[in-house]
C-alpha cells in the first residue's frame, strides 16, 4: 500500500474497463490526486464515487472530453494541471476505440472510421504527451502507453485498431529514446485478453469468462507509476506474464 503516495496522475479512457480499474487501484495505493477523462461525464462520476468510498484521501478530478479533438485534448491537460498545481507525475494513455464492428478487412474499411481510430488511439496520445511533458520533467514523470498483441502481429480483421497499436509501440520507443537524457520515462504495457466491453465487441463469439478481469493486470501499471520503476524506460511489458517483474528488476539493476 501507499506505493503511489503523493502521485498526481492523469488516466484517459477511465470510465470503464482497464482505465476505471487503474483509477481505483492507483487510489488504493495512495495517489494524492487522479484526473480521469472519457467522453461521458456521468460514467466518470460513478468512478469518482467508487474511489471516494475506497480511498477518500485521493482527490479525483472528472474531466469529460473527446480525444478526437485537439482543442479538447488541450483543455483536458490544462484543466488537469490546474487541479494539480501545475505538476503531473504519471500519464496513462489508455483510451482507445475499436472501430466498426463486425471488424471489416482493410479492403472494406471505411476511410472515416480508419481516421477516427488512428486519431484517438495514436494521435491523441502523441498530443497528450506533448502537452503534459513540461509538467512532468521536474518531478521525474512516468508515461505509460497501453498497447496490444495486435500491435506486434497483423491479425486479419483487426484493421485500424491493430495498426494504431503498431504505431503506439513505435511512438513509445521513439519518445523513450528522445527523453533518455530527461527526467521522464516512457514504457508501454500489453494487458493481454481482458473481459471488457471492447473485447467482447471485438470477439463476440468467444467466451469472455476465459479472459482476465482488469483487476488482475494492474500490478505492472502500479509498478511503472511508482518510484520503484525509476531507471526503467523504453520497455514493453506483458501484464499477464508471470515473470514480468523479475525480468524488469534485472534490467534496472544492470542499468
pLDDT in tens, 5-24: 999 999 999 999 999 999 99
73 belongs to a structural domain: yes
Interhelix angle 70-83/124-136, nearest 10 degrees: 30
119 belongs to a structural domain: yes
Name the one residue in this structure whose C-alpha cell is 525509476: 230
245 belongs to a structural domain: yes
pLDDT of residue 250: 41
2 belongs to a structural domain: no
pLDDT of residue 195: 60
pLDDT of residue 94: 97
48: cell is 469518482
Name the one residue in this structure whose C-alpha cell is 528522445: 178
- Active-site residues: which are they? 161
Residue 162: half-sphere exposure toward Cβ, Cα within 13 Å: 16
Structural domains counted in the chain: 1
pLDDT of residue 125: 98
| Beta carbons within 8 Å of 182's beta carbon, 6+ residues apart | 137
Full domain range(s) for residue 24: 8-254
pLDDT of residue 244: 75
Q: Is 51 helix (H, G, I), strand (E, B) or coil?
A: helix
Give per-residue pLDDT as tens, 206-253. 666 776 778 899 999 999 999 999 989 999 999 898 777 654 444 444
166 belongs to a structural domain: yes
153: cell is 502481429
Closest by alpha carbon to 11, among 245, 229, 238, 222? 222
CB-based burial label for 186 (10 Å; 0-12, 13-18, 19+): buried
- Is the separation of the CB atoms in 94 and 22 below 8 Å? yes
180 belongs to a structural domain: yes
Q: Hey, which residues does 35 pair with through a beta bridge?
A: 10, 61
pTM, full prediction: 0.92
123: cell is 494521435
With b for 16 or more beta-carbon neighbours within 10 A and e for fewer, the 230-254 pattern comes to eebbbbbbbbbeeebeeebeeeeee
- Is the separation of the CB atoms in 37 and 14 below 8 Å? yes
pLDDT of residue 8: 98
145 membership: H or E segment, kind and range: strand 142-146
90: cell is 504519471
Number of H helices, E strands in the chain: 9, 7
Pairing assessment for the beta strands 90-93 and 185-190 based on DSSP bridges: unpaired
3 belongs to a structural domain: no
84 belongs to a structural domain: yes
Instruction: Identify the CATH number of the domain in which residue 170 sits.
Output: 3.40.50.720
Per-residue model confidence as pLDDT tens for the chain (255 residues)? 799 999 999 999 999 999 999 999 999 999 999 999 999 999 999 999 999 999 999 999 999 999 999 999 999 999 999 999 999 999 999 999 999 988 999 999 999 999 999 999 999 999 999 999 999 998 889 999 999 987 889 999 899 999 999 999 999 999 999 999 898 999 999 998 766 666 577 667 666 677 677 889 999 999 999 999 998 999 999 989 877 765 444 444 433
pLDDT of residue 203: 65
| Beta carbons within 8 Å of 39's beta carbon, 6+ residues apart | 15, 64, 65, 66
First to last CA, the chain: 27
Q: Is 38 helix (H, G, I), strand (E, B) or coil?
A: coil
Name the one residue in this structure whose C-alpha cell is 513540461: 134
| Beta carbons within 8 Å of 120's beta carbon, 6+ residues apart | 67, 68, 95, 96, 97
Amino acid at each position: 500500500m501507499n506505493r503511489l503516495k503523493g502521485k498526481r496522475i492523469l488516466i484517459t479512457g477511465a470510465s470503464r474497463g482497464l482505465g476505471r480499474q487503474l483509477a481505483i487501484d492507483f487510489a488504493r495505493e495512495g495517489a494524492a490526486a487522479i484526473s480521469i477523462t472519457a467522453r461521458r461525464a456521468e460514467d466518470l462520476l460513478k468512478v469518482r464515487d467508487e474511489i471516494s468510498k475506497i480511498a477518500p484521501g485521493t482527490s479525483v478530478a472528472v474531466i469529460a472530453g473527446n480525444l478526437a479533438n485537439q482543442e479538447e485534448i488541450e483543455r483536458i491537460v490544462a484543466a488537469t494541471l490546474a487541479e494539480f498545481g501545475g505538476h503531473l507525475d504519471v500519464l496513462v494513455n489508455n483510451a482507445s476505440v475499436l472501430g466498426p464492428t463486425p471488424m471489416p478487412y482493410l479492403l472494406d474499411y471505411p476511410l472515416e472510421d480508419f481516421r477516427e481510430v488512428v486519431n484517438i488511439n495514436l494521435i491523441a496520445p502523441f498530443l497528450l504527451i506533448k502537452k503534459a511533458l513540461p509538467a512532468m520533467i521536474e518531478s521525474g514523470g512516468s508515461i505509460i502507453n497501453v498497447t496490444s498483441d495486435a500491435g506486434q502481429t497483423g491479425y486479419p480483421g483487426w484493421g485500424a485498431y491493430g495498426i494504431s497499436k503498431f504505431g503506439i509501440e513505435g511512438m513509445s520507443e521513439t519518445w523513450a529514446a528522445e527523453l533518455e537524457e530527461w527526467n521522464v520515462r516512457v514504457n508501454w504495457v500489453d494487458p493481454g485478453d481482458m473481459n471488457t466491453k471492447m473485447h467482447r465487441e471485438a470477439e463476440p463469439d468467444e467466451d469472455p469468462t476465459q479472459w482476465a478481469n482488469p483487476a488482475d493486470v494492474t500490478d505492472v501499471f502500479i509498478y511503472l507509476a511508482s518510484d520503484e520503476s525509476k531507471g526503467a524506460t523504453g520497455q514493453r511489458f506483458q501484464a499477464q506474464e508471470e515473470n514480468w517483474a523479475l525480468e524488469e528488476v534485472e534490467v534496472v539493476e544492470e542499468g
